[in-house]
Structure 1
Amino acid sequence: MKVETNKVAKTHLICSFLILISCLQSLIISCEARRIKRHLSSTPGLKMKAVNLGGWLVTEGWIHPSLFDGIPNNNLTDGTQIQLKSVTIGKYVCAENGGGSILVANRTSASGWETFRLWRINENTFNFRVFSNQFAGLQGNGANPAVVTTANKPRSSETFQIVKNIDDESRVRIRASNGLFLQAKTQDLVTADYAGDGGWGDDNPSVFIMNAFGTLHGEYQVTNGYGPEKAPQVMNEHWSTFIVEDDFKFMSQNGLNAVRIPVGWWIASDPNPPKPFVAGSLKALDNAFSWAQKYDIRVIIDLHAAPGSQNGNEHSATRDGSLEWGKTDETIQQSVATIDFLASRYARHPKLYAIELINEPVSWGVALDTLNKYYQLGYDAVRKYSSNVSVILSNRLGIEDSKELFPLASGMQSVVVDVHYYNLFETKFNDLSVQQNIDFINNNRSSDLSTITTSNGPLTFVGEWVAEWQVSGATKQDFQNFANAQLQVYGQATFGWAYWTFKNVKKHWSLQWMIQNGYITLTN
């Protein structure tokens, strides 16, 4: 009898335990369902009134110039272009045929073949990249070694030191890897065999007049410029102070409901990103999500800088202005891996609203087939982790057909097409009056946006715009009218808009300054 009683007790215990497990499972499922429902139903039809956090996790020196002040020899960072003119011959050094041959000193004027892009090793030592993307270097170690441009990748023989004249920094001498200086004894060949000093006069064939221009101020330049010892300190200080929690509070109090956060592809490797990038941007992005949760701000993550650069601009973290994204499958796979990483990390966060797969690919460097291939892979990566996070496809810059992504987008769910509208960067805006600029917004931009806004197509997003123009002497009222015209027109975008950018030393580019000073009001 005692045995039977024990069996009954055990049976009751097991049943009670199973019931408890079932109740817990039901509770978990119910909570998850409510979370998903809340994520889906709390924002139906909500349009983004967003601001870009430009210059934060992807450096743009024009937004925050002082970030570059401490770099030694900071006018010769990666990508700076130099031209060299022999003082004895009076002509420019040239990579014959643009590369793949020798260096000569026989050009009376300087253009592409006479221009060298710097890859910085340290503050005085560089590789010289020529027009064909090959590198200048020594040919052999014998007497009178010529300088040739045949290397596809720089080695020790493609390393040069730029020695400046203390009294006149435009006068330089170039020391090659053999310890000797380049010289132009004749205009037909530049050799690396000058051992003496000889002074800095016009009779010294190793002296050149250097014209340096086109200095880039992006993530690659700032991190490689400071070097591996100092860059982590500088960048983490920047990330922790440039955008802070109070900024999100300010946004929430002034009519903004979202941020578009540009990130670089190296964030997926944090805390061990590839050199010269440094760790810490992922922690900053985590902070942004925490602040977004606290102040009810949605987050759009934007892959602003793709491996190899998708546009050759400093804001894509290019090293030297080259566009190499999409030229190899490796750059596409690295980009997909970045999207996969971001989606896996944040897809379940209630404030992730969208992921933009790439920013501003250009039509003159990125083929549509390549971009479509990547967009499909990136879309699939996001959908592995979420069925409702929006996926944003950026239109290529310079295209004639603004609906070229529609065939691809038609097979996708919760997809958005991003366009950027500036009354800048084109000569047609140079001489427009205040009213002509406003008319352009009301007529041309309105028409452009209407073209891509269709009932059965993807949502539309004006992902970048600004209340800045080429007009001189504009009044505050002029700026207010210009900004209001854009708010009215871009407010018709079915996904919304995002101002470029939140903070900037250039006042009209800073939405924070524009709101604080009454140029833009979003709370009415």
Structure 2
Amino acid sequence: MKPNFVFLLILCCILSVSQAKVAAPAASNGFRVRAVNLGGWLVTEGWIKPSLFDAIPNKDLLDGTGVQFKSVTVGKYLCAESGGGTILVANRTAASGWETFSLWRINEKTFNLRVFNRQFVGLDTTNGNGGAGVNLVAVENTPGISETFLILRNSDDPNRVRIKASNGFFLQAKTEELVTADSKGNAGWGDNDPSVFIMTNTGGLHGEFQVTNGYDPFVAPTVMKEHWKTFIVEDDFKFISRNGLNTVRIPVGWWIASDPHPPKPFVGGSLKALDNAFLWARKYGVKVIIDLHAAPGSQNGWEHSASRDGSQEWGNSQDNIRQTVAVIDFLTARYAKNPSLYAVELLNEPRAPGVSFETVTEYYKSGYEAVRKHSSTAYVVMSNRLGSPNNTELFPLAGGLKGTVVDVHYYNLFVDLFKNMTAQQNIDYVYNERRGELSAVTTSNGPLSFVGEWVAEWNVKNATKEDYQRYAKAQLEVFGRATFGWAYWGLKNVNNYWSLEWMIKNGYIQL
């Protein structure tokens, strides 16, 4: 019996080692990333730290804010007929896309108004005498003086406004079909003045563009440098290293490559903060993943990609692809010799179908080459396109390149599927559905898999601490199967369950 027992024991050990070799990342000695995202630091997200916006004058009218204007005399909404390309009217009883104008902020009171089809409202300049007329149109793709307006708010009711055109006169709705800029206005704000409109704010973005363009250009650098100096500090890296984490994923914006003089409205200083992060990482034995979170023109139209007004324009031209590759080249060259550099993520969350598969693979090829020009050891992370039905679409590209990783993000949030799930249903979803999804992108001979963003937050009402603990444990167990590793979003947040620091200190997560 003894020889058989020894044989079985040896066989089990061989199988165990064999399985471990399959599961562990290649050429990494079994190292797996257990990371936290430093979100909201070098790329602003207002929901993470709302106080960053507190001192902005007229802070409810930032770039990308949607506004609607209802004439007090006609009783109907201003509308860019056909969504743009022709005249403005005031004949809509309800407001939707064509009746919503997206603000481009010049200063706290002066704006361009962008319409649904992305043209700008302006004075009609086709009156034959070379000057601007008084009729309103939305035909220009690039705003100029004629597309600039002053929004004056009633001090007693800020939603009552007058809109002053560049010719010095106010807009007025004379009839449902005739909107002109030829009113002198008057001292009152009553319902009998056709130059008075009721403004409705439909919300907007609170990203890097909004915060830097919202403040005075002399104030913005001071505000942002104070934020970078205080939001993430050296003690955070000490906390990370002592609490079971070994890596940080640091979102950065494309303008960092132009530091200290990035294009307006962005301000310099984020590169110095990133340098500090590498110093602290080295001191406390923490690895760094540089994550290009915001690309020129925005790859997804959201505030965390520094979109100005929700438009998604990255990849529309070869110029911004080349510019993005140059950013990757700059960052890799700067940190390639730093032992803390572990990976470079080429682009966070490009969104389909706005970013085509052909465009993103073209960029990923060039980005990979830019990293390899400076480093043969740094992993190259390629984020799946959000909205694509095929989670393995990057495999033919990434599988043929050495040291590649495919990044997937898993949130039990943001879609209707999770709105009415119970705590147990969410936990079961992680163990069943998420496990299957992750298995599909985790292969023994393909690119490594990385759950680059997840969080122990959900839509469950009145969940107990034990519910949160079980939910976090489920995700740690399942996402721990990713061959590259995982990264929690994020370290700090005013919303407690989104803050890994708070979750650890209060016993919700144990690593």
Please identify, of 207-216 and 254-263, the stretch whose mean Cα deviation from structure 2 is larger: 207-216
- Structure 1 residue 410: deviation in Å? 2.1
Secondary structure of the equivalent of 1:237? Answer: helix
Q: Is residue 197 of structure 2 the alignment partner of residue 208 of structure 1?
A: yes
Aligned residues: 483
Change (3 A) 1:361 1:319: same
User: 1:361 — aligned with what?
Assistant: 350
Shift of 1:42: 9.8
User: In the alignment, what sits opposite 1:509?
Assistant: 498
Normalising by structure 2, what TM-score? Answer: 0.93
Q: Which amino acid is 1:103 matched to?
A: L
Secondary structure of the equivalent of 1:293?
helix
Partners of 2:132 and 2:343 in 1: how far apart? 62
- The residue correspondences of 1:287-436 to structure 2 (distance < 5 A) are 287-436=276-425
Q: Cα offset for 1:144?
A: 6.1
Who is 1:230 aligned against?
219
In structure 2, give the amino acid aligned to 1:130.
V
The structure whose Rg is larger is 1
Q: Does 1:101 align with 2:101?
A: no
How many Å separate the matches in 2 of 1:406 and 1:79? 36
Q: How many Å apart are 1:198 and its aligned residue?
A: 5.2
Give the equivalent residue in structure 2 for 1:125: 110
Separation (CA, whole Å) in 2 of partners of 1:85 and 1:114: 9
SS of the residue 2:374 aligns to:
coil
Which stretch has the larger CA shift, 153-162 or 192-201? Answer: 192-201
Which secondary structure state, in structure 2, belongs to the residue aligned with residue 384 of structure 1? helix
CA distance in 2, matches of 1:57, 1:185: 48
Deviation of 1:44 (Å): 2.0
Measure, in 2, the Cα distance between the counterparts of 1:143 and 1:261: 49
**Which segments of 5 or more consecutive residues in structure 1 lack a partner in the other structure?**
1-39
CA distance 1:244–1:216, change in 2 (3 Å)? same
> In structure 2, what is the Cα distance between the partners aligned to 1:193 and 1:45?
72
Q: Distance in 2 between matches of 1:44 and 1:415?
A: 16
- Is contact 1:71-1:226 (8 Å) kept? yes
Question: Would the aligned equivalents of 1:305 and 1:317 in 2 still touch at CA under 8 Å?
Answer: yes
Amino acid at match of 2:272: K
Deviation at 1:435, TM superposition (A): 0.6
Equivalent of residue 283 in structure 1, options 272, 284, 291: 272
Conservation of the 8 A alpha-carbon contact between 1:227 and 1:276: no
The reply on whether 1:65 has 2:44 as its aligned counterpart is no
Aligned counterpart for 1:449 among listed residues 429, 438, 442: 438
Query: Where does residue 258 of structure 1 map in the other structure?
Result: 247
- Cα deviation 1:93-144 (Å, max 9, x = unaligned): 0001111101100011111111100000000000000001010111138796
Aligned-partner Cα distance in 1 for 2:348–2:26? 28
**Equivalence for 1:17:** none
- Structure 1 211/178 Cα, relative in aligned 2: closer, same or farther at 3 Å? same
In the alignment, which residue of structure 2 is the partner of 1:154? Answer: 143
The match for 2:186 is 197
Q: Which residue of 2 aligns with 1:75?
A: 60
Shift of 1:399: 1.4
For residues 255 and 414 of structure 1, the distance between their equivalents in structure 2, rounded to whole angstroms, comes to 25
The CA deviation string for residues 182-234 of structure 1, in whole angstroms up to 9 with x for no partner, is 00001102110001315211110000010012221100000000121000000
1: CA distance, partners of 2:26 / 2:461? 46
Q: Distance in 1 between matches of 2:159 and 2:457?
A: 35
| Contact 2:208/2:303 (8 A) holds in 1 | yes
Whether contact under 8 Å (1:100, 1:150) holds in the other structure is yes
Q: Is 1:244 the counterpart of 2:233 in the alignment?
A: yes
Do 1:143 and 1:193's aligned partners in 2 also have CA atoms closer than 8 Å?
no
How many angstroms apart in 2 are the aligned matches of 1:485 and 1:187?
Answer: 58
Distance (Å, rounded) in 1 between the aligned partners of 2:216 and 2:64: 16
Secondary structure of the corresponding residue to residue 229 of structure 1: coil
Pairwise CA distance, 1:364? 2.4
Question: TM-score when scaled to structure 1?
Answer: 0.91
Instruction: Look up the match of 1:84.
Output: 69
Percent sequence identity is: 67
SS in structure 1 of the partner of residue 229 of structure 2: helix
Counterpart for residue 15 of structure 2: none
Q: Corresponding residue for 1:15?
A: none
- Give unpaired runs (5+ residues) of structure 2: 1-24
1:25 counterpart residue number: none
Residue of structure 2 in register with 1:116 after alignment: 101
Q: Deviations over 1:227-263 (max 9, x none)?
A: 2100000000000000000000000000000000000
Letter in 2 for 1:96: E
CA distance in 2, matches of 1:316, 1:230: 23
Q: Conserved in 1, the CA contact under 8 Å of 2:123 and 2:132?
A: no
Q: 1:144 to 1:186 in 2, by over 3 A?
A: farther
User: 2:9: which partner in 1?
Assistant: none
Q: Return closer, same or farther for 1:143/1:59 CA change in 2, 3 Å cut-off.
A: closer
User: By how many angstroms is 1:43 displaced?
Assistant: 4.5
Q: Is the 8 A contact 1:433 1:471 kept in 2?
A: yes
Counterpart selection for 1:177 from 166, 170, 177: 166
